Amino acid sequence: MAEEKNILLSQWLEGSISEEGLAALESQYNLDQLRDVLEVQDQFSLDTVDSNDIWSGLQKNIKEAAPTELAKPQSKRPFIYLFILLLGIALAFFYFSKNSGTEIKTDKAEQKTHQFVDGSKVILAPGSSIHFNENTWQKNRTIKLNGQAQFDVTKGAPFTVQTDIGEVKVLGTSFEVFQMNSVLSLSCFEGRVLLSSKHNQSVEVTAGNEVKLTNEGFTDLKSHNDTAASFLRVSISYDRIAALQLAQEFSRFYNIPVKMELSNTNKYFSGILILDNKEQAASIIAQTMGWSYENQKTGIRFYE
């Protein structure tokens, strides 16, 4: 028991004390007062040396001293190193072959046109990117697309546009692919294209038609009279996109922050976004949704 007595306060602090032990302590010490002292002390910190001073001193010393050599491999080690080396080479090869190629990216409010070696052309909408390999272009015209672009394709090897949702194979010539979140819209302006989903369903889209593909499958086969991609026109039309998506789209074309101060962001917008006049674009959205808007220096604010 005497052995135990000299650790009672430690147990009390940790909350692991027995009732007997607690009674013994209470007869000897004012525990509430001790607890209060410790609580106030916990708010103090020690007067330490400024970290920046130590770090800059350390940096000076480090420059003069190099790290020691790696321990020398023991006799069994070479195999492991050889294995790691081979693994490294394989990974590097994999990485290189996967990533070799060209990437073109657009910022917000930026549009880029790229002409491929075969004369095919892509016009990339703001906030989008494509990735392709020009070295093997003549044999394999495959483009990975993230975002929105118009393609004008010359005759030649199969021309394929891949997105996360599905891929578009070109049978003819001019079309627009627009992938936003998990919806892919495809409009064909000239000739024919073949759109395939991940589940190997496919649909052929002919000039003057538009189709949407989601993870559930194809929807909305519609005809249109457009001759160029939506983002190349003066306005772009949306069908039931969420308020927050609308804000992202607005910001993508005008490169300004867009704030939605809505009591309920679960609202959908169907209508047009004008691409060449910010004020007008905001005004039309506000009218359509019954919101108000403010065109500030720092961005556009929509509110109810």
Residue 27 makes contact with other proteins by CB under 8 A: no
Sign of CA dihedral 280, 284, 287, 293: negative
Please, what is the Cα angle at 280 between 277 and 281, to 5 degrees? Answer: 80
When the beta carbons of 13 and 89 are compared against other proteins, the nearer one is 13
Give the shortest CB-56-to-other proteins separation in angstroms: 10
Binding mask 71-110 for other proteins (x = CB under 8 A): x---------------------------------------
**Does 42 sit near other proteins (CB under 8 A)?**
yes
Inter-residue contact 171 to 142 (CB < 8 Å): no
Question: 1, 15, 19, 48: which one contacts other proteins (CB under 8 A)?
Answer: 48
The letter for the amino acid at 297 is K
Identify the H or E element spanning 128. Answer: none
Residue nearer to other proteins on the CB measure, 1 or 65? 65
Q: What is the nearest approach in angstroms of other proteins to the Cβ of residue 2?
A: 12
Two tokens, residue 241: 């996109």
Query: In degrees rounded to 5, what are phi and psi of residue 165?
Result: -95, -40
DSSP state of 106: -
- Contact region for other proteins (CB under 8 A) — 44-52, 103-111, 115-123, 156-164? 44-52
Are 168 and 185 in contact, with CB atoms under 8 Å apart? no
Catalog residues that contact other proteins under the rule CB under 8 A: 6-14, 29-31, 33-34, 36-38, 40-49, 51, 53-55, 57-58, 61-62, 65, 67-71
